[in-house]
A = this chain, B = another copy of it.
Amino acid sequence: MSNEVIDTILNHRSIRKFKDVALTEKQIETIVSSAQMASTSSYIQAYTIIGVKNKETKARLAELAGNQSYVEKNGHFFVFCADLHRHEIAGQMEKVDVGPSLESTEKFMVAIVDTTLAAQNATLAAESMGLGICYIGGIRNEIEEVSNLLKLPEYVIPLFGLAVGHPDGDTEKKPRLPMANVYHEEVYEQDNAKFVEQLQNYNETISNYYNRRTGGKRTDRWTEQMANMLKTPRRMQINEFLKKKGFMRS
């Protein structure tokens, strides 16, 4: 099955090099309106999007995100924030104590989900206009500094950035896990040997993919990549930071 939406979705690749062309106000508005029309849990709309144009702020964000040049050099940089501050204000306006709810793990999850649904709409709207995107989880490296830089109040945290712009060059699509490994019917796959075999087959796919792309310089397996990434726990300060901001206290 094919249509413009499915083609846009299936054609996705992350873009890490952008031309020096700023998004127009109209493009920004279309991206934000698209984000806002995503589904939202009980109408809570638990996010705020900060658009960053200031060169110094962008340079500082790039530095905090681990020196990723495309955080600084792009058409526009959005920071998607999980946000329950608005709901604290709503509680004050209605004279209702909403604190214990806002501080629950459930509402933290709701805020992350709402924010991410909105972001993926933003992404597809941007890609449909011929723009490229890259999500920037790296802003959580120094989550507290990023939060201070953007002057986020209590009950608001920066979840990820989204660099958007006119692609400078193309990149290749990366093959995903075998569908049978990701999509199970009725219950979670109970056959562990089958599960492992699927990952081994995927390892071969990925190893060949890197081999081909790098002319033999890289041949890493997917499980190898994952094990390398996961052997050292990272961003361990986040739990404490979240609690400080009012989240996930119970």
Contacts and interface: CB of A to CB of B under 8 A. Distances in A.
B45 A182 contact: yes
Nearest to A39: B135
A20 interface: no
A94 interface: yes
A64 interface: no
Contact of A223 (B50, B90, B116): B90
A6 B131 CA distance: 13
A229 B229 CA distance: 40
Interface residues of A, number: 121
Interface in A89-148: 89-91, 93-94, 96-98, 100-102, 104-107, 109-110, 112-113, 116-117, 119-121, 123-125, 127-129, 133-135, 137, 140
A44 B226 contact: yes
Interface of A: 1, 3-6, 8-10, 12, 14, 26-30, 32-39, 41-45, 47-54, 57, 81, 86-87, 89-91, 93-94, 96-98, 100-102, 104-107, 109-110, 112-113, 116-117, 119-121, 123-125, 127-129, 133-135, 137, 140, 149-153, 156, 159-160, 173-174, 176-177, 179, 181-188, 190, 195-196, 199-200, 222-236, 238-239, 242, 248, 250
7 tightest A-B CB contacts, nearest first: A5-B128, A94-B227, A4-B4, A116-B116, A120-B120, A90-B223, A98-B230
Q: Chain A at the B interface: mostly helix, strand, loop or mixed?
A: helix
